[in-house]
Chain A
Amino acid sequence: MLVQIQSANPAPSLEHRPSNFHLFDTGFGHHVLMVNGSRIFSIGADVAAQLGSAGDEIGVMQELGIYASPYIDDSVPSNLPVRSLSLAVAQKCNLACTYCYAQQGDFGGAPKEMPVEVADRSVDLLFSDAQAGERVHLSFLGGEPLTSRTVLRRATERAARIAASKRVHVGFSITTNGTLLTPEDGDFFEEHRFAVTVSLDGLETAHNALRPFKGGQPTFQRVLARVEPLLKLQRRMQVSVRATVTPLIRSLPETLNAFVELGFHSVGFSPLLSSSSGADEMTKEELRSMLKGMIACGEEFERRLYSGQRYPFLNMTNALQQLHQGSHRPYPCGAGAGYFGVSASGELFACHRFVEDPGGLLGDVDSGPDRSRQTAWLTERHVHRQEPCQSCWARYLCGGGCHHEVISRGRPACDYIRGWLDYCLQAYMRLLHECPEYFRPCAT
């Protein structure tokens, strides 16, 4: 099968006008993403020309039959049930990562461990509104959550017990630096079907420069040695890599390939946009370079898929799923809506990154979300309130960007995000044409 993978556009489109649709081309013709509802159409050349010259004129879209009344308005969801909690079981860490949002694990305060009573009450809150058949999620972050293994295990087992008795589906996940993993942890995670995400910020040189032990020693080989038994063990659990991308990563395709060959279930990249120390943040120039690397990874994903191989490039698989469904959202994530980060002392924050940040304080585990603070948060964070998102064609796919990064540093990555989505749209059309079975539900 010969598919022209190379982008049909000479360069990724970084422009962001008009704001109601985005035209793009592939070897299979002209296409348009209608921003409202994230609807994707293939169109003839004359329709593409008509849209291109009409800008944001609604009348033309109505005439073409692709106008729809708004899927997303300015309203703010209210009284949302708590569906997902991340527990900062340990506000302490054995690493000294240069950029850590948690400021080397303690969030700028004294190192803390979550008391078991707080963990218990957190789990109870998570299930308080859950009905039989519904899903909830419990994750463990820090700091390094494995420095508080006892609390982690107790909270997991309590959640599993309640889930069984209430017939609620519960999912577990942990994000760990990997240095403290043991084979027994692997057994426990396997038993409870954990999604285990290991932070590996590139291959050995880059990773060691960014993620040393507190004493300065390198960690890369230590992490690989600790993770290896879990990679062999994983059946019910999934062991994945999250790589924070800094200028130190030499090649994204090389990094991706190396982790895939090690047997990780999936590998995802995320640029460092906001560093607590200010070090290693990606500049616009570096983000342009990263975009090229991401597209090279995506093209490898396409090549592998055309030849019938699985290639677990998480950014790509997530983007394709969202584009196929037509995902459209007024927020980038569930932070402060159905999802909260619980601090060691039991306060609810908008997410794990906002722990100990008064601006993200939204309640506590005893009283649940403070509804007035939550409404204020969701009102303020709605993508319709963000600039320059109002005039961006990617606003309902991106949701306005990570709240924490945006509040700390603004939006330096908009061109990167649009460039990545533009590539993913093209790849989606190619794959839909050449590998339609990739998008079929696997219930059969």
Chain B
Amino acid sequence: MNDKIEAKNLSAQLQFRALGNPPSTLPNSAISNCCPGLEMDFRNAWKRIFVGIELHESSNFVVKVDPSAPELHELANNYQLMKVQGVPVMATATGPLIPDGPNVPLPDSDGDDALIPLEWSNVLAGVIYNSAGKLVECEFQSMDPPVRNLAFNLRVRNFFENAVIARDLLKPGELTQSLCSPWQNDYRECGCFYWAASRPDYVNVELSEDGNSIGHNWMQRDRTPETAKVYVSDDFLDERLLSYNDLFNGWEKALRFVIGNEDEPPIDGGPKK
């Protein structure tokens, strides 16, 4: 019957669930957020907020430039958006390096201070509120040495079309294209213990009287009782850990439930060392 019902005002549009969509497609009943989410990856909504360029959804890299705007073409050479209207959209990550330690700039994998993109819904809220349809100064920096800086006045797209995200910002399918895939890549990559609501990490743990512990990384291939209990950190190279291919080909055999802190017995046919 929904095909004969059309949401007209803004509150109706916000709440309306299209025919065939499950309840989780409504923002207020979904886990969708910016990290990236279970039902949609909201970060995609910001990729085309500036006319003439397209940004990567999880960083501020310019990934596409409008072919009809030759003055912007240099931006396709590994440039990152750094500031909008003088306001930084990147920040140095700080925090304690050891438990209860002081907040210090955190290093990236090269040992430099880590620069992280700020969450766009917050950092660009003022831009869409005050400057939709207007030109704003955007500052970019080349990530390849030598460091080069460029600035352009780019027009801000309207974010909303009535109560919903404007068509110019998203193509069909883009809101879900970068979703987390928990049984595949993201069980390896996601270290935030967010999955769903948190995945096992440190398993088969034995506590000693002095408060220390030993155990296995849940992503280790071999977690039998005989396997030495040494937590293997993931450097994406160590073959003792499950690979992406292992997960793509047989996640249901490789990953096991953890009950009472103990692994389920291994399933025949699972990935071996």
List chain A positions with a Cβ less than 8 A from chain B: 31, 34, 37-44, 46-47, 50, 63-66, 68, 323-326, 328, 428-429, 432, 441, 443-444
Whether B10 lies near A324 (C-beta < 8 A) is yes
B8, closest chain A residue (CB)? A40
Q: Tell me whether A34 and B12 are in contact (CB under 8 A).
A: yes
Please, which residues of chain A bring their CB within 8 A of the CB of B11? 37-39, 325-326, 328
Is the CB–CB distance between A39 and B12 below 8 Å? yes
Other A-B pairs beyond A39-B15, A326-B14, 9, CB < 8 Å: A39-B12, A43-B6, A63-B1, A64-B5, A68-B15, A326-B10, A429-B8, A444-B132, A444-B158
- Closest 6 interchain pairs by CB? A326-B11, A44-B4, A444-B133, A39-B12, A40-B9, A443-B132
CB atoms of A39 and B9 under 8 A apart: yes
B contact face: mostly helix, strand, loop, or mixed: mixed
B197 interface residue, CB < 8 Å from A? no
Q: At the interface, yes or no: B7 with Cβ under 8 Å from chain A?
A: yes
| Residues of chain B with a CB closer than 8 A to A68's CB | 15
B15, closest chain A residue (CB): A68
Q: Which residue of A lies closest to B17 (CB)?
A: A65
State in angstroms the CA–CA spacing of A429 and B8 once bound together.
8
- In the complex, are the beta carbons of A42 and B6 less than 8 A apart? yes
Interface residues of B (CB under 8 A from A): 1-2, 4-12, 14-17, 19, 129, 132-133, 158, 160
6 A/B residue pairs, CB under 8 Å, sorted by A: A37-B15, A44-B5, A50-B1, A65-B19, A441-B160, A444-B133
Closest approach, in angstroms, between the C-beta of A125 and any C-beta of chain B? 29
**Which residue of the partner chain A has the closest CB to B126?**
A133
Cα–Cα distance between A230 and B6 once the two chains are bound (Å): 46
Question: What is the bound-complex CA distance between A38 and B12, given in angstroms?
Answer: 8
The complex places the Cα of A46 from the Cα of B1 at a distance, in Å, of 9
Our count of residue pairs bridging A and B at CB distance below 8 angstroms stands at 74
Chain A residues whose C-beta falls within 8 Å of the C-beta of B158 in the assembled complex? 441, 443-444
Q: Which residue of B has the minimal Cβ distance to A326?
A: B11
Complex Cα gap A34–B11 (Å): 10
- The smallest C-beta distance from B117 to any residue of chain A, in angstroms, reads 23
Given A63-B1, A68-B15, A444-B158, A31 contacting B133 (CB threshold 8 A): no
Cα–Cα, bound, A64→B17 (Å): 10
Nearest CB on A from B22, distance (A): 12
B12 / chain A contacts, CB cutoff of 8 Å: 34, 37, 39-41, 326
Which residues in B have their C-beta under 8 angstroms from that of A31? 8
The distance from the CB of B2 to the nearest CB of chain A, in whole angstroms, is 5
Given known contacts A39-B15, A443-B133, A64 and B8 CB-to-CB distance under 8 angstroms: no
Are A65's CB and B132's CB within 8 A? no
B residues near A43, Cβ cutoff 8 Å = 4-6
Cβ-defined contact, B10 with A325, below 8 A = yes
CB contacts (< 8 Å) of B6 on chain A: these are: 41-43
A47 close to B4 (CB less than 8 A): yes
Residues of A within 8 A of B15 (CB): 37, 39, 68
B12 (CB) vs chain A CBs: closest residue = A39
> Whole-angstrom distance from the CB of A441 to the nearest CB of chain B?
7
Q: Tell me the bound Cα distance from A308 to B8 in angstroms.
A: 22
Q: How far is the CA of A75 from the CA of B10 in the complex (A)?
A: 24
Report the Cα distance A337→B160, complex, angstroms: 31
Q: B5, B9, B133: which contacts A326 (Cβ < 8 A)?
A: B9
Taking a contact as CB atoms under 8 Å apart, the answer to whether B5 and A65 are in contact is yes
Q: How far is the CA of A41 from the CA of B16 in the complex (A)?
A: 10
With both chains docked as a complex, state the minimum distance between the C-beta of B18 and any C-beta of chain A, in angstroms.
9
User: Nearest A residue to B158 by beta-carbon distance?
Assistant: A444
Complexed CA–CA distance, A243 and B156 (Å): 43
Residues of chain A lying within 8 A (CB to CB) of residue B4: 43-44, 46-47
* Cβ-defined contact, B160 with A66, below 8 A: no
Contacts of B17 in A (CB 8 A): 65
How far, in angstroms, from A13 to B15 measured CA to CA in the complex? 27
